[in-house]
Amino acid sequence: MVEKPLFNRLALVGIGLIGSSVARIARARGDLAAEIVATARTQQTLDRVVELGIVDRAERDAARAVEGADCVMLCAPVGAFAELAGVIAPHLSPGSILTDVGSTKQSVIRDIGPLLPAGVHFVPAHPLAGTEYSGPDAGFAELFEGRWTLVVPPVGTDEAAVEKVAELWRRCGSMVERMEPGHHDKVLAIVSHLPHLIAFTICGTADDLADESRSEVLRFAATGFRDFTRIAASDPTMWRDVFLNNREALLEMLSRFMEDAQAMARAVRWGDAGYIEDKVQRGRKIRRSLIELKQA
Amino acid sequence: MVEKPLFNRLALVGIGLIGSSVARIARARGDLAAEIVATARTQQTLDRVVELGIVDRAERDAARAVEGADCVMLCAPVGAFAELAGVIAPHLSPGSILTDVGSTKQSVIRDIGPLLPAGVHFVPAHPLAGTEYSGPDAGFAELFEGRWTLVVPPVGTDEAAVEKVAELWRRCGSMVERMEPGHHDKVLAIVSHLPHLIAFTICGTADDLADESRSEVLRFAATGFRDFTRIAASDPTMWRDVFLNNREALLEMLSRFMEDAQAMARAVRWGDAGYIEDKVQRGRKIRRSLIELKQA
């Protein structure tokens, strides 16, 4: 017999890669939620979710989907959160938990916090997991195994609610750590958002080359470029929203990176071998640290 | 019985990742060279190569190593080529082939071409293969399988010699394509040299963060940053030399990339969602093309 479910009814608002993975886990384990309800932006997604048989109920109307749920999880792109919160807020049950899986956290607190009725516990979270694929078919039950989930509650959030969200992610196979919202956005800007911005940019730079060179870029991509394109294949709406909702931290990290790239360009132009070697050595050092931390 | 060896004596000048892989293949196949001689910058490397048993003769003196060889392959960092060529040129046999595996080709032709005695065939080449590891222990016989080798002869090179070098790489498991030196350097600047420069740079940017953030960058690297560090772990001397010897094409591609990154920064700052989405879509398109070309 499985442990008592954490929640009676889990409502997933949005059910793409992340939401459908949570649904699959909840189905498989039985100790996450007694009932799983899903809502999505398109009927097509809902139809597919029903076909996949990974939820108990698919609900076209977001307000109806969250009614009676003791845990509501927003799994849509963060740019849609303000509008979604406006729709669902009046229908959230007192004492219920509202959480999310968005990649930016200050914006989520800014967009959702003011709309919530008293008595609803708001516990933003961010599972650091994903693939280059999206949609309900892309999800799988092992997605969060061995990966971090950051739980990022605003000051004053009910500790029991925070712990329930942390426990949900532990049951999903995740390691959990708590983080302050502003710090989350800064760390994610450098480890995730900036690398993605760079990857999208260099793909565009290559795509702008004359036709002959471009076709050769594709043929000979194995020599470095390929590693950049893998992360450039991610969901466009999600990433547009991430960039626009972590603007300040992203621009700060991009600005530091650009200064460093200009310094590297100068070293290449003027033949400053020592400077270049030092930077390459630091790259190796960082890589070695990752290997020691088993993150590589 | 194996086919008649392509060469009587193959001399490897430098025997790290690439050179030792060629030696292992030559040993295993028997149809590359009847005899394999290696020379290296340090006695330590040569001792190790003897221990590994992957060459017939290890020779401390580069001039003696190339004497009597009908194929000499430079497998050292490209920055060492001018000096090496000065040492070995007087000892190359008439009718022999001098080739190399360097990542830049105009610089190699500039540095070596003028030093060669008449009757020596100079056939620069570049196997697009490698790992983040270096040294004679890092090599393995499958390194070139299914990978491209670009053969990049200067105008007027003897066609029979070009074909012999192409055949050597085919026997190493490589697909071979011919390319013009200037074009090679431009294509490699975008597919390989720029991605590496960016990877080294972003590692430095992360390493410059305050201690607390830096340790979190390492812990949460799995979200994008990690993919950049993999290629940042490569050999420092090799990459310093590549950057300095493909200066013009690299600075041109870096400059294009920086313009594009600035445009992206501007779109993020001013909330130009359409611009960002377009760039992300192009990243996906490039990735899909790679998958279709089986390069991903």
What's the CATH number where A124 sits?
3.40.50.720
Domain hosting residue A284, numbered range: 183-292
Count CB atoms within 10 A of the CB of residue A265: 18
Q: Domain for residue A65, yes or no?
A: yes
The last residue of one of the domains, among A179, A214, A230, is: A179
> Is there a single domain that holds both residue A16 and residue A120?
yes
- Give the pairing of strands B57-58 and B71-74: unpaired
A192–B243 C-beta distance less than 8 A: no
Which ranges constitute the DSSP H helices of chain B? 17-29, 43-52, 62-66, 81-88, 106-112, 159-171, 181-188, 194-207, 211-219, 225-231, 236-245, 247-270, 273-292
Instruction: Band the pLDDT of B19: cuts 50, 70, 90.
Output: very high
**pLDDT score recorded for residue A295:** 64
Report whether pLDDT(A268) > 90.
yes
Give A275's contacts (C-beta < 8 A, 6+ positions apart).
Answer: A263, A264, A267
**pLDDT score recorded for residue A286:** 86
Q: Domain for residue A270, yes or no?
A: yes
Interchain CB contacts (distance < 8 Å): A and B: 307
Cβ neighbours of A191 in B, within 8 Å: 206, 216-217, 220-221, 223-225
Instruction: Band the pLDDT of B190: cuts 50, 70, 90.
Output: very high
> Is there a single domain that holds both residue A155 and residue A14?
yes
Mean pLDDT to the nearest integer, A72-78: 97
CA A96 distance to own-chain centroid: 23
Q: Domain for residue B155, yes or no?
A: yes
Report whether pLDDT(B215) > 70.
yes
Report whether pLDDT(A1) > 60.
no
Report whether pLDDT(B232) > 70.
yes
CA atoms of B80 and B74, how far apart (whole Å) = 10
A132–B208 C-beta distance less than 8 A: no
Give the helix, strand, coil percentages of chain A, each rounded to 5.
55, 15, 30
Which CATH number fits the domain that encloses residue B189?
1.10.3660.10
For residue A267, give the chain B residue with the closest CA: B244
> Is there a single domain that holds both residue B144 and residue B39?
yes
**pLDDT score recorded for residue A296:** 61
Of A191, A232, A290, the CB nearest to B286: A232
Q: Domain for residue A2, yes or no?
A: no
Cβ neighbours of B145 in A, within 8 Å: none
Domain count, chain A: 2
Of A195, A208, A255, the CB nearest to B224: A195
> Is there a single domain that holds both residue B171 and residue B31?
yes
Least confident of A119-123, A199-203, A227-231, A277-281: A227-231
For chain A, what percent of residues have pLDDT higher than 70? 98
> Is there a single domain that holds both residue A222 and residue A115?
no
Report whether pLDDT(A287) > 80.
yes
Report whether pLDDT(A226) > 90.
no
SS3 A158: coil
Q: Domain for residue A1, yes or no?
A: no
The answer to whether the beta carbons of residues A190 and B213 sit under 8 Å apart is yes
The answer to whether the beta carbons of residues B221 and A191 sit under 8 Å apart is yes
Residue with tokens 């445009």: B263
For residue A234, give the chain B residue with the closest CA: B284
User: Which residues face B217 on adjacent strands?
Assistant: none
Report whether pLDDT(B51) > 60.
yes
For chain A, what percent of residues have pLDDT higher than 90? 80
Q: pLDDT tens across A156-171, in order?
A: 999 999 999 999 999 9
**pLDDT score recorded for residue B227:** 83
Longest dimension (CA), chain B: 70
Q: What pTM does this model have?
A: 0.91
CA atoms of B256 and B190, how far apart (whole Å) = 10
> Is there a single domain that holds both residue A53 and residue A149?
yes
Give B48's contacts (C-beta < 8 A, 6+ positions apart).
Answer: B135, B136, B137
Give A141's contacts (C-beta < 8 A, 6+ positions apart).
Answer: A21, A24, A25, A28
> Is there a single domain that holds both residue B256 and residue B135?
no
Complex ipTM, two decimals? 0.90
Report whether pLDDT(A211) > 90.
no
The last residue of one of the domains, among B179, B195, B226, is: B179
> Is there a single domain that holds both residue B166 and residue B191?
no
Instruction: Band the pLDDT of B253: cuts 50, 70, 90.
Output: very high
Mean pLDDT to the nearest integer, A105-112: 97
> Is there a single domain that holds both residue B246 and residue B276?
yes
The last residue of one of the domains, among A179, A211, A230, is: A179
Q: Give B206: exposed, middle or buried? Use CB within 10 Å, 0-12, 13-18, 19+.
A: buried
- Average pLDDT over chain A reads 94
Q: Domain for residue B17, yes or no?
A: yes
> Is there a single domain that holds both residue B27 and residue B119?
yes
Report whether pLDDT(B280) > 60.
yes
> Is there a single domain that holds both residue A269 and residue A240?
yes
**pLDDT score recorded for residue B266:** 97
Instruction: Band the pLDDT of B2: cuts 50, 70, 90.
Output: low
> Is there a single domain that holds both residue A51 and residue A147?
yes
Q: Domain for residue B2, yes or no?
A: no
Q: Domain for residue B1, yes or no?
A: no
